[in-house]
Amino acid sequence: MSNKYDTVIGLEVHVQLKTDSKMFCSCKNKYGAEPNTLVCPVCMGYPGAMPVPNRKAIEKTIIAGMMCSCKIPNFSKFDRKSYFYPDMAKNYQISQYDLPFCEHGKMHIYGNGFSGNKLDEKDIGITRIHLEEDAAKSTHFSNYSGIDYNKGGIPLMEIVSEPDITTADEAYAYLTALKQVIQYGNIGDCDMEKGQLRCDVNISLKPCGRKEFGTKIELKNLNSFRAVHRAIDYEIIRQAEILDEGGSMNQETRGWNDDKGITYLMRTKESAHDYRYFPEPDLLPVIFADEDISELRKNVPELPEAKKARFVEAHALTHFDAQVLTSEKTIADFFDAGVVLTKTPKLLANWIISELLRELSDANIGIADSKITPKSLAEMIELINKKIISGKIAKTVFSEMFKTGKAPADIVKEKGLVQVTDESVIEEFVDKAIAENPSQVEEYKGGKKAVLQYFVGQVMKLSRGKANPQAVIKLIKEKLD
């Protein structure tokens, strides 16, 4: 990679808000419904229809802004952005032009980048966050397209970053941090496959040290964070090569072809699109007094960083554990719900991190769909703590819980998995094992301490796995030493 150039990257992220209804009408905000069944005169741009804004969408946008340290202005308004396109029912989009809901924020990035290299810890500036309505969905056929207006009118937040990003790793980290914040704030689900989060990249190169930015190239059709990463890496090389040969860049929009791993020309931007913005006459401005803004601030949830610190301090978890548990709010919530029901947060954390997340990943479901609940997992851990089951048995119980959602106590009872802790009972098994394996006794007495495991195995076999391992070891040692 050439060191002659500075890379300047800005990201434009569109996020669908998680609301029950659309932005300007009461149609359901839902993915995957039958085409054109969640529509009405308003979102289909019928004559005489009028928009009415969704209050929750406005609030969620402001909370998103607060979570990104944005300034929330007292006066805000909607504007009409005119352009003709079949996915825009009115041939104008209700958006925000010069007075958006949030301005001048930032997103902190740190740690390791997607490529594995360490990131420069820094703040990426957020220029603005504004609220608008999403476009309809077009499906392409041979030489025509079909439009489904279900998606049209869904509340959409546009987050514009400052051109502070300089590498693919930084872009990836910014997107990850942003997604985490949005999910934490219960603002959006950010499922890129469902179109709930979209990202466009603006990238340019300039000779190192020069103040003036180079020609901006826009990258579109990036369907995952990984695609963003790959596209940026590719584009930096492509642009550098052109500049090296003395060529120059034209302002253009390029698409990313994920299969081929290349960007391709979509269209050149000879002139900026004339959107003819003007204030939306059908909507009144939005005015928040300072007190209103303070009230809204109370709804801002605990940020990921703060939550992580709390887990480390309050529950003596390691940074790594806290990091994994807070990577998604749903996992953190799961932990929070369970930790009040158990005396051993560390054990709970382990089970979530090593077992639950793995099982969920294998089954390809989210923690929200898990049949194991914080309560049931905590109960299972208490069974371990009370030595009713061993850690090993717990694995069986856990598996069953994951499959069936049954309570651990019920599973233990049904399968007769109660651990045997009665030493007199265990002693019988130990005596039997010793009696049946004289040569191993000899080996042990001869100094081969490792043979202990053999005896433990034998006792476990005789007790059908139910003997408490610590007691077994203790008794064997007593008898043989």
Partner 1 sequence: MTKNKTMETPVIDVGYVAKLAKLELDPLSMDKFQKDMESIVEYVNLLGELDLKGIEPTAHPFVSSNAWREDVAKESFSRDVMLSNAPDILDDELIRVPQVISGEEDI
Partner 2 sequence: MKNNLNKMTLCDVSDLLISGEITSSELCSLYLSRTKKMEPKIQAFLKVDEDEILRQASASDKRRGEGKPLSRFDGIPISLKDVINAKGEQCTCGSKILETYNSVYDATVTERLRNKGLVLFGRNNMDEFAMGSSCENSAYFSTKNPWDISRVPGGSSGGSAAAVSAGEVPASLGSDTGGSVRQPAAFCGVVGLKPTYGRVSRYGLVAYASSLDQIGPITRDVKDSAVLLDIISGCDPKDSTTLPDSKISFEEIVNASGDDLSGLRIGLPKEYFEVDGLDKDIKFSVDKTIEKLKSLGAKMVDVSLPHTKYAIAAYYVIATAEASANLARFDGVRYGKRTEGYNDLNELYSRSRGEGFGEEVKRRILLGTFVLSSGYYDAYYLKAQKVRTLVKNDFDEAFKKCDIIFSPVTPTPAFEIGGITDPVQMYLADIYTISVNLAGNCAISVPADILKESNLPVGVQFLGPAFGEDKILKVAKVFEENRDIKEFIPEVKYV
Q: How far apart are CA 206 and CA 203, in angstroms?
A: 10
Q: How far apart are CA 79 and CA 277, in angstroms?
A: 6
Q: How far is the CB of 299 from partner 2 (least distance, A)?
A: 24
Q: Please state, as a whole number, how many other Cβ atoms lie within 10 Å of the Cβ of residue 434.
A: 19
What the block records as the tokens of 355 is: 């077992």
Q: If contact means CB under 5 to 8 A according to the sort of partner, which of partner 1, partner 2, none does residue 106 touch? A: none
Q: How far apart are CA 202 and CA 10, in angstroms?
A: 5
Q: How far is the CB of 33 from partner 1 (least distance, A)?
A: 9
- Does position 142 bind partner 2 by CB under 8 A? no
In 409-456, the DSSP E strands lie at none
Local structure of 120: helix, strand or coil: coil
- Antiparallel, parallel or unpaired: β 79-82 and 92-95: antiparallel
Q: How far is the CB of 149 from partner 2 (least distance, A)?
A: 8
Q: If contact means CB under 5 to 8 A according to the sort of partner, which of partner 1, partner 2, none does residue 140 touch? A: partner 1
Residue 47 or 447 having the CB closest to partner 1: 47
Per CB under 8 A, the segment of 3-11, 61-69, 272-280, 472-480 that binds partner 1 is 272-280
Q: Which of 98, 241, 282, 431 binds partner 2 (CB under 8 A)?
A: 282
Let me know how long the chain is.
481
- Cβ burial of 231 (10 Å; 0-12, 13-18, 19+) is buried
- Does position 194 bind partner 1 by CB under 8 A? no
Q: How far is the CB of 92 from partner 2 (least distance, A)?
A: 5
Q: How far apart are CA 382 and CA 397, in angstroms?
A: 13
- Does position 281 bind partner 1 by CB under 8 A? yes
- Does position 420 bind partner 2 by CB under 8 A? no
Per CB under 8 A, the segment of 43-51, 124-132, 316-324, 327-335 that binds partner 2 is 43-51
- Does position 283 bind partner 2 by CB under 8 A? yes
Residues 6 or more apart whose CB falls under 8 angstroms from that of 23 comprise 17, 51, 53, 54, 57, 94, 131, 132, 133, 134, 153, 154, 155, 156
Q: How far is the CB of 275 from partner 2 (least distance, A)?
A: 9
Asked if 85 contacts 91 with a C-beta cutoff of 8 angstroms, the reply is: yes
Find the binding residues for partner 2 in span 351-380 (CB under 8 A).
Answer: none
Q: How far is the CB of 85 from partner 2 (least distance, A)?
A: 8
Q: How far is the CB of 249 from partner 1 (least distance, A)?
A: 19
- Does position 86 bind partner 2 by CB under 8 A? yes
Closest to 421 (Cα-Cα) out of 458, 480, 470 = 470
- Cβ burial of 366 (10 Å; 0-12, 13-18, 19+) is middle
Find the binding residues for partner 1 in span 59-118 (CB under 8 A).
Answer: 77, 83-87, 91
Q: How far apart are CA 219 and CA 228, in angstroms?
A: 9
Per CB under 8 A, the segment of 173-181, 243-251, 278-286, 433-441 that binds partner 1 is 278-286
- Does position 197 bind partner 2 by CB under 8 A? no
Find the binding residues for partner 1 in span 111-170 (CB under 8 A).
Answer: 138-141, 143-149
Residue 223 or 373 having the CB closest to partner 1: 223
Q: Which of 9, 38, 92, 159 binds partner 2 (CB under 8 A)?
A: 92
Residue 25 or 384 having the CB closest to partner 1: 25
Residues 6 or more apart whose CB falls under 8 angstroms from that of 40 comprise 25, 26, 27, 49
Q: If contact means CB under 5 to 8 A according to the sort of partner, which of partner 1, partner 2, none does residue 212 touch? A: none
- Does position 387 bind partner 1 by CB under 8 A? no
- Does position 146 bind partner 2 by CB under 8 A? no
Asked if 165 contacts 172 with a C-beta cutoff of 8 angstroms, the reply is: no
What the block records as the tokens of 358 is: 């793995």
Helix (H) or strand (E) holding 233: helix 225-244
Q: Which of 36, 166, 251, 330 binds partner 1 (CB under 8 A)?
A: 36
- Cβ burial of 1 (10 Å; 0-12, 13-18, 19+) is exposed
Per CB under 8 A, the segment of 51-59, 322-330, 405-413, 418-426 that binds partner 1 is 51-59
Per-residue burial over 271-308, b if 16 or more Cβ lie within 10 Å, else e, is eeeeeeeeebeebeebebeeeeeeebeeeebebbeebb
Q: Which of 2, 176, 221, 257 binds partner 1 (CB under 8 A)?
A: 221
> What is the binding site for partner 1 (CB under 8 A)?
19-21, 26-29, 34-41, 44, 52-58, 77, 83-87, 91, 138-141, 143-149, 220-221, 253, 255, 266-267, 273-274, 276, 279, 281, 283-287
> What is the binding site for partner 2 (CB under 8 A)?
41, 44-53, 80, 82, 84, 86, 89-92, 147, 272, 274, 276-278, 281-284
